Amino acid sequence: MTFNLVLDGPAEGDRVEEHDGIKFAVESELIDRFGPFVLASSRSGAQVFLRLTAEKQPVVSGGCDSCSSCE
């Protein structure tokens, strides 16, 4: 599961947290569904890479083990 980061202000109903002077806003529905998020960063030269992961990962179903239609 991937999540997009955008530069925007918080909307009504968003949950807002501040870390090192930077405010992060997340839709309340996403936190209810996936739990807390972790934002990790790394640097390579002048580039900064960000990775956003959720505590709860969705269960992915499908493929050959998900049904009996091929039996």
What does the pLDDT profile of the chain (71 residues) look like in tens digits? 778 788 889 999 999 988 888 888 999 999 999 998 888 889 999 998 888 888 887 776 666 655 555 55
pTM (whole model) above 0.75: no
Query: In the prediction, which pLDDT does 41 show?
Result: 87
Are 6 and 40 contacting, i.e. CB atoms less than 8 angstroms apart? no
**Cα–Cα distance measured from residue 40 to residue 51, given in angstroms and rounded to the nearest whole number:** 5
Q: Look at residue 18 in the predicted model and tell me its pLDDT.
A: 87
